[in-house]
Amino acid sequence: MVRIYHNTRCSKSRATLALLEEHVGVCEVINYLDTPPSAIELGVLLGQLGMTARQLLRTGEAEYQSLGLNDHALSETALIAAMVAHPKLIERPIVVANGNAVIGRPPEAVLAIL
């Protein structure tokens, strides 16, 4: 089953979902702003993505500045906790398939793991 961590308000996320539906049909859609991943789940996703928590942060969000997340002394655990509490900070969309994950930017990037 292909899973997408989706934000309905994001054009890249909508385009990625449409591409997935075209190529694989039914996907598990997680509206992560309504149902944020747990810290454990986010840790697993980071491993599948091959990324650090800092690399997954959306630095242009107001919460990034207001929470002081630009402090490079913050640990992975602290950054993951911030993303769990404020899922808007998570880069999107994330697609998981075949034990791998990729960010759908551009949407066609997801084809590599299908």
Q: Which residues are catalytic?
A: 10
To 5 degrees, how large is the angle CA 79–CA 49–CA 62? 35
Residue partners of 64: CB distance under 8 A and separation at least 6: 57, 58, 70, 89
From 11, 6, 1, select the one nearest 87 (Cα to Cα): 6
Q: How far apart are CA 110 and CA 43, in angstroms?
A: 20
